[in-house]
A and B are shown apart, each in its own frame.
Chain A
Amino acid sequence: MSQFQLQFDPRSYRRTIAGKDVIIHCHHYNARVQRTLESAVAVDGRAIIRGAAETVFAEQIAQALRDADDSEPKLGVAEQLYAQLGYGRLVLTPTPQGRVHATSSHYVEGWLAGFGARDEGVCTFTEGYIQAAIWAATGELVHARERECMARGDAQCVFEIDGGRTQAIAANTKQPVAFEPRTTGEYLRSQHVDEPAIIQALVDMPIHGNAEGLIPAFSVYLANTPADYYNLICIRFVEQMSAHGRDKAAKRMLIADGETCAMNTFRGIMNSVEWEGLVAPMIHEPRDNIFALVAISNGLGWGNWHITAHPSAETIEFESLNGYEALGYREYRGRASDPTCFMLTGVAAGLLELVYGVGTIADRLGTCGTRETACISRGDATCGFAVERSQ
């Protein structure tokens, strides 16, 4: 599976698998963003998720296939990619009844670990992946809809394949952006935290699917997801909510998802054997935790961001040199009028809430607020985040 091996660019901190920049996020973020989109009554969140997955993976899977192969080995490659990225085990060859199934799923495990059982299926993302895989492997346009889901207590996730589709899969159209990220800046460092060592350790870690196609690591379920996917679902969600006058609420909810994710994810990371072995010996004072967590996030492919000011536990400032959200917005939509780094905005607050806050996640949520003071998507040289404790 050498074609799926991770490529890491130490200059940009970008992770690439099968030709696409991938971001490591955990089930907390994936499940929360999915819940935000799917529970918004004004828009069809499922269609946004399914459509983005289909567009992005149709391109990535096609890049991974050999034209000379038959459809069966091509479907096998798509199954392998799905498992390698950490989404689970998917059997794409349809049964005579026209169904495909999954025996393990990042989205199911993530939903169960985060929210518990659900009455509806949770594998909307997988529906889009299946549509993309079948199209890339066979040229057939299909609809995939989940009929049984392990999150509801079913034995496996079963997807019904409907071949009566005529609508083409939307191309992943992006405009190249002439942007050269700044390479240096005035950043604060911790004398105890060895950031390059943390990043290198993360790069060296085998963060790919296990026998179940899952990546349980750092006390969370990780997945390698193309940045394009996150950008498309967030951009489309805000745009579609805007049509109902709810774009501000949409942005605030995406920020809150990043904030909650940061607390849950980084708390999981801080309670993991990986942290205990690698990072804990570097921690000598509470602020070291923030420096270490920022180093970890830089190793996860989120981009390249650093702390520029941290005078007290009440406030912190960050600068991001090439965040995937800002650059992604530029690629998909051109220059933005307002900042677009919702995830990083939330994560910035979540970091302060986690490291210096008290109480449960719910107690800490919302006790800090972040302003995105500059954003590459607006044409600024970097993205800036100023966090202040508000309660």
Chain B
Amino acid sequence: MGTRTYDDLPVGVLIADDAIVIRTASASFLRDFSCLAEDVQDRELSELISPRDRRASMLIDRASTQAATEPVDTIAVVEVGEVARLARIVLVRESQQWMVLVECIDNPQNLVLQLFSEHRRWSAALRGSSDGLVFVDEALTITDYNARFVELMQFRSDHGVLLGEELLPGRELATLLAPAAFEPMRVRLDAMWSREGCSDEFMLHGRWLELDARPIYLPSKGLSGHAISLRDATDRHDMEHARAERQRELLRHSEEVIAAQRQAIRALTAPRIPIARGLTVVPLVGALDTQRLSEIVEDLLEGVARDGTRTLVLDITGVPEFDGAAAAGLLSAARSLRLIGVHPILTGVSPRTAQLLASEHVPTHGLEIHGSLEAAIASSMRRSSARPVTS
């Protein structure tokens, strides 16, 4: 065999019948594969495709059994005898037969081989990416995607059934993002299309995703689509959340420690010391502002009511500073003590404090005041029938 018509073509040509069984082969094909006509004649085209290249075989099967009107164009390893070569195969239907163009592309200078190799590298990178990647054209229809994208998106039907991957190519991304679960992503993408690329993050199916969309430009066409990447940021979010929770916990703990310390200090700077039955002395130490005085009075009122104090000696010897408001507060506290049946005595009044009480016209009438603690205790002992506490 050998078809004169095709022998001048720079590619090998096989003519196959309706069942894709090879009937004739061009001289160029026989030369490219160093074989004889009988090596390929009456063999099904699929038998020439390497068994390790099943994908090409599948494509040829599908296309050749269907009413394919477009030529089938694929790259495959073609094996004839001991010769195996990478070739571009184009199948064209011609009434009751098939014309099969077989162009060996294993020369490193071959442009198709270079494009094929480039595509393989690109596919490997796409497949290996841990980010979900999807590419859309200028009409926002999907042109390419990787498995991670499918995994992160989990497109499902109304019944919760996973949608097939074959649905994706050529599909408008927006139609897949119609369900409510995708609204956060949809909103962000809608805002991105008009911009020069943008990043944002949102939650989808219980996971945090970082979204990045970048426009793709072609020199002759301008904007030709977008590259969209999705990174699962859930672990980072979880760590950040855990760190914030730890900080909140630390803060809470610190506040509790500070409150306890403040309580302890309060107790230490205004201790209630029982001297005799019904007689308690409270030496006040440190600066006495309105806030602290209010807390001390609150504690005192609770304490004396509980322990049966009848006379309370407030010793302010250890108070370095005293302003008018604090003095008024102290006297107000004395009045409160009287209301619950406790007789208040003030002692340790320094000359400066006495001067202040006088100049500020703080009403001290009705309040028993002594110059020293001893005098105050002696007065109290005399005044009441209180007995010393016995152990």
User: Which of A's residues lie within 8 Å of B, judged by CB?
Assistant: 27-28, 39-42, 109, 112-116, 214, 216, 219-221, 241, 244-246, 248-250, 252-253, 256, 264, 267-268, 271, 358-363, 365-367, 369, 390-391
Contacts and interface: CB of A to CB of B under 8 A. Distances in A.
Given A358-B128, A369-B51, A248 B46 contact: yes
Interface string B148-176: 00100010110111111111000100000
Contacts of B164: 28, 113-115, 264, 361
B55 A358 contact: no
Given A39-B65, A109-B159, A390 B18 contact: no
Contacts of A367: 54-55
Contact of A244 (B18, B57, B145, B166): B18
Nearest to A250: B65
B58 A360 contact: no
Contacts of B52: 369, 390-391
Nearest to A360: B147
Contact of B161 (A219, A241, A363): A219
Contacts of A245: 17-19, 21
Nearest to A389: B52
A391 B50 CA distance: 11
B167 A115 contact: yes
Contacts of B62: 39, 253
A361 B145 CA distance: 11
A41 B46 contact: no
Given A359-B146, A360-B146, A363-B147, A40 B66 contact: yes
B115 interface: no
Nearest to B59: A366
Interface residues of B toward A: which range? 35 or more
Contacts of A366: 53-55, 57-58
Contacts of B336: none
26 contacts: A28-B164, A39-B67, A112-B157, A113-B164, A114-B164, A115-B166, A214-B159, A216-B161, A219-B162, A220-B161, A220-B162, A244-B19, A246-B20, A249-B46, A249-B65, A250-B65, A252-B46, A253-B58, A264-B164, A358-B127, A360-B127, A360-B145, A360-B150, A360-B165, A369-B51, A390-B53
Given A246-B64, A359-B126, A366-B58, 20 more contacts: A116-B166, A219-B161, A220-B161, A221-B161, A249-B20, A249-B44, A249-B64, A249-B65, A264-B162, A271-B154, A358-B127, A358-B147, A359-B123, A359-B147, A361-B164, A362-B165, A365-B58, A366-B53, A390-B51, A390-B52
Nearest to A28: B164
B200 interface: no
B203 to A, nearest CB: 19
Contacts of A360: 127, 145-147, 150, 165
Contact of B167 (A109, A116, A244, A271): A116
Contacts, number: 123
Interface string B334-347: 00000000000000
A248 B58 CA distance: 11
B161 A268 contact: yes
A246 B65 contact: yes
Contacts of A115: 164, 166-167
Nearest to B123: A363
A54 B276 CA distance: 109
Interface of B: 17-21, 44, 46, 51-55, 57-58, 61-62, 64-67, 123, 126-128, 145-147, 150, 154, 156-157, 159-167, 171
Most buried by B among A27, A28, A241, A359: A359
B69 to A, nearest CB: 11
A140 to B, nearest CB: 34
Nearest to A241: B65
Contacts of B166: 114-116, 361-362
A246 B123 CA distance: 33
A241 B44 CA distance: 14
B127 A363 contact: yes
A147 to B, nearest CB: 23
Contacts of A250: 65
A116 to B, nearest CB: 5
Please give me the 9 A-B residue pairs with the lowest Cβ-Cβ distance, nearest first. A245-B19, A366-B55, A216-B159, A366-B54, A359-B127, A390-B52, A114-B164, A249-B61, A219-B162
A390 B171 CA distance: 31
Nearest to B51: A369
Most buried by A among B21, B128, B156, B164: B164
A390 B54 contact: yes
A252 B58 CA distance: 7
Nearest to A104: B159
Contact of B66 (A39, A359, A361): A39
B145 A114 contact: no
A219 B156 contact: yes
A39 B67 CA distance: 7
B65 to A, nearest CB: 5
B310 to A, nearest CB: 72
Contacts of A246: 19-20, 64-65
Contacts of A41: 65-67
Most buried by B among A115, A267, A363: A363
Contacts of A390: 51-54
Contacts of B126: 359
A220 B157 CA distance: 9
Contacts of A109: 157, 159, 161
Nearest to A252: B61
A245 B17 CA distance: 10
Contacts of B44: 248-249
A361 B164 CA distance: 9
Nearest to B128: A358
Contacts of A369: 51-52, 54
A87 B159 CA distance: 14
A256 B19 contact: no
Contacts of B157: 109, 112-113, 216
A37 to B, nearest CB: 10
Nearest to A368: B54
Contacts of B54: 366-367, 369, 390
